[in-house]
Structure 1
Amino acid sequence: MPFVQAAFAQPSDETAEAADIVERFLEASMVPDPETAAKYMAADVAITFTGGRKFAHPRETTGFNARRYKWVKKKMERTDVSAGTGETIVYNTGTLYGEWPDGTPFEGNRYVDRFVVRGGKIVQMDVWNDSAERLLTRNHIEA
């Protein structure tokens, strides 16, 4: 997957490490293995999903996804990193693919995940994707 450093600079050890932490977290999340995923997160992590849904641990997001999808994976297309003072911001973008609860397959569902990495741990995760819009369309509901 392409790794892009802001301002076209060479990746620093800190930004490369933050990108690696995020990508390892996402890989564990897709298994899904919430306990391994949690190893990359601070104990007081703040996780917010589309629609303002708040979570405190990857097992909660795994449970939410288990209700929304029969299964879901990410096609990670890009990771962008921007170093800040004492923290690194990491964006991971791509598309989701999988099956809805009724077994109907889907693909091309865009997502953006934004992470704040501090002290070698993810302290904040914000998730946006097109799933809600796709569910409305599937159910012939006008938003």
Structure 2
Amino acid sequence: MPVIEVHLIAGYGDEVKTRLGKALTDGARLVIPADPDGITVLTHEVAASGYMRGGQNRFPAPPLPDPAETVQAYLAAMEARDLDTAAGYLGAEFEMIFPGGVRMTDLDALVAWSAERYKRVTKTFEGIDTAPSETGAVVHCHGTLSGLWPDDTPFEGIRFIDRFELTDSKITRQEVWNDMAAAMQARKDPA
């Protein structure tokens, strides 16, 4: 079974070291058919005074935010229609892609477009998965939608999957798949 050793400059909190250990365990399992209990991750910390590169002492970089937490905070801001806060999670080249190939880059445009589809929507998460990518991270979340149609009729149990790409800890792409169109059609043709 694999033993993975990582050396860090002292200063990272326990939560960051736990995230790193889990990511290294998961990464090893992508390549080696090992049970998680058989993978050992050892973190060795070195005081900044005992670590030099280029003849200079170095200090730890600040940890990156958890990509899944970034996505959840963005979605919570969108649900609350706090567009200024939501925009703070977005990269400069942000793009959203919805069923039917609808593409948007502006949150105000999204709110205007969605007003014809629903009055309010809430996401209940059944799972959130994060994976590294060459440019940052990819986060998939899935679950169900509930809310109100434009005529104030409630809906629930509509499946969704969202895929997010993050670069430099900012969301640069959101792809949305859901059964909203099928649910809307079923309302029109209840047969």
Extract unaligned runs of 5+ from structure 1.
none
The separation in 1 between residues aligned to 2:113 and 2:190, in whole angstroms, is 22
Shift of 1:66: 1.8
Cα deviation code 1:46-66 (max 9, x no counterpart): 111111111102222222222
**Following superposition of structure 1 onto structure 2, how do residues 8-47 of structure 1 map, counting pairs within 5 Å?**
9=26, 17-47=66-96
Letter of the aligned partner of 1:9 in structure 2?
D
1:121 counterpart = 2:170? yes
Letter of the aligned partner of 2:75 in structure 1?
L
Report how many aligned residue pairs link the two structures.
135
1:88 counterpart = 2:137? yes
- TM normalised by structure 1 equals 0.85
The separation in 2 between residues aligned to 1:79 and 1:22, in whole angstroms, is 10
Aligned to 1:79: 128
1:61 match: secondary structure: helix
Name the structure, 1 or 2, with higher relative contact order (CA <8 Å, separation 6+): 1
Aligned to 1:134: 183
Report the RMSD for the aligned CA atoms in angstroms.
2.2
2:144 match: secondary structure: strand
Letter of the aligned partner of 2:182 in structure 1?
E
1:9 match: secondary structure: helix
- TM normalised by structure 2 equals 0.65
Q: For the Cα contact (< 8 Å) 2:96–2:103, is it kept in 1?
A: yes
Extract unaligned runs of 5+ from structure 2.
1-21, 28-62
Letter of the aligned partner of 2:115 in structure 1?
A
1:97 match: secondary structure: strand
The separation in 2 between residues aligned to 1:112 and 1:75, in whole angstroms, is 11
Shift of 1:106: 0.6
